[in-house]
Amino acid sequence: MLHGFWLKRYDVDGDYRIEEVAPDGLAGFVRNLADHGYVGANVTMPHKEAALALSEPDDAARTIGAANTLWLEGGRLKSTNTDFEGFLGALDASAPGWDTRGGHALVLGAGGAGRAVVYGLLQRGLGPVMVANRTLAKAEALRDSFGSAVVPVSWNDVETYMKGATLLANTTSLGMHGEPALDVALEGIADDAVVADIVYVPLKTPLLAAAQARGLATSNGLDMLLHQAVTGFEKWFGVRPEVTQEQYDLIAADIPAS
């Protein structure tokens, strides 16, 4: 639905399809994308790390440690990770100037999505970036990868580090349909803070509802999903597409409310 919207809007003679590929068949499939009729692909779990190893990654994919976008260039298989672009693009659209407000960022979660978000924040020159994870060692691993601008903090201290934060980003699955709610209080967060949640089922998680009740700017997972798709479409079809409200509304209508 997402790429189909752009294919129609830009009158591109192409297609975007779903392929279910078992782990043991991944290498054969991605090394022969052209034989399957493809000029590239998105890659989702559990294949992102394997796709990185099978391709020529750019700095983003290499540093984040996972590839979600593949394309053929001169017969060579290239890769990147556009999750950080999606996160930044969504914030730019939802809260222009969010990265000029000072303070610190607080990122919840240190998994693959957390790594992409932290990479993006550091690319924008933000710091310090506090990373809270239930397993502190995983947050410490991000500091080891990205340097001293990343500050690992205990999950039990989240509300302490909420004070003065100008950005809160949830990169965990908490709040997703079928998962427990994210139980954090927004007391103490800066009055001009932005709250982002990468979850998009539901579109308005309890975290985002609480933020909006405080009058804070928010960004949801569908915003991120749309913006992360831009680079892939450009690589494959030669057109840089624009994310629009019409497209957002079309896809949002297909997402369960809770």
Same domain, 92 and 214: yes
Residue 132 contacts residue 159 (beta carbons within 8 Å): no
Same domain, 71 and 60: yes
Question: What is the mean pLDDT of the segment spanning 138-151?
Answer: 96
Model confidence over 149-170: pLDDT tens digits? 999 999 999 999 999 999 999 9
242 lies in some domain: yes
Model confidence over 188-208: pLDDT tens digits? 999 999 999 999 999 999 999
Same domain, 194 and 248: no
pLDDT of residue 181: 86
CA angle 3, 9, 13 (to 5 degrees): 70
205 lies in some domain: yes
197 lies in some domain: yes
Distance of CA 184 to the CA centre of its chain: 21
Q: How far apart are CA 210 and CA 203, in angstroms?
A: 13
257 lies in some domain: no
149 lies in some domain: yes
Same domain, 172 and 136: yes
Same domain, 191 and 233: no
Residue 147, classed as helix, strand or coil, is: coil
Q: How far apart are CA 258 and CA 250, in angstroms?
A: 17
Same domain, 48 and 100: no
Same domain, 27 and 124: no
pLDDT of residue 88: 98
Same domain, 48 and 135: no
Distance set, CA 232 to CA 38, 108, 119, 128, 164 (Å):
13, 27, 19, 30, 36
CATH code, domain with 16: 3.40.50.10860
Residue 54, classed as helix, strand or coil, is: helix
Same domain, 49 and 14: yes
Per the structure, the complete domain to which residue 91 belongs is given by: 84-222
Is 48 considered catalytic here? yes
77 lies in some domain: yes
Omega into 46 within 30° of 0, i.e. cis? yes
Count of structural domains, the chain:
2
Q: How far apart are CA 218 and CA 181, in angstroms?
A: 17
pLDDT of residue 178: 86
Average pLDDT, the chain: 95
Residue 158 contacts residue 132 (beta carbons within 8 Å): yes
258 lies in some domain: no
Catalytic residue among 8, 48, 138, 163: 48
DSSP 63: H
The reported pTM is: 0.95
CATH code, domain with 115: 3.40.50.720
Same domain, 96 and 183: yes
Same domain, 130 and 9: no
Query: Which residues are CB-neighbours of 234 under 8 A, at least 6 positions away?
Result: 240, 241
Token pair of 129, please?
Answer: 């970036």
175 lies in some domain: yes
Given a cut of 80, whether residue 256 has pLDDT beyond it is: no
Tell me how long the chain is.
258
Same domain, 183 and 118: yes
pLDDT of residue 258: 59
Residue 19, classed as helix, strand or coil, is: coil
Residue 98 contacts residue 167 (beta carbons within 8 Å): yes
Model confidence over 64-105: pLDDT tens digits? 999 999 999 999 999 999 999 999 999 999 999 999 998 999
